[in-house]
Amino acid sequence: MTSVQVSVTGRVQGVGYRWFVQDLASEHGLTGWVRNRRDGSVEAELHGDRVDVEAVVGAMRAGPRHARVDAVQVRELTARRGLDGFEIRATE
Q: Is 18 a catalytic residue?
A: yes
Per DSSP, the three-state class of 26 is helix
Strands 31-36 and 86-88: parallel
**11, 18, 50, 65: the active-site residue:** 18
**36, 61, 75, 81: the active-site residue:** 36
Q: Is 89 a catalytic residue?
A: no
For 30, counting Cβ atoms within 10 Å of its Cβ (0-12 exposed, 13-18 middle, 19+ buried), the class is buried
- Please report, for the chain, how many H helices and E strands are present, in that order: 2, 5
The residues annotated with a catalytic role in the active site are 18, 36
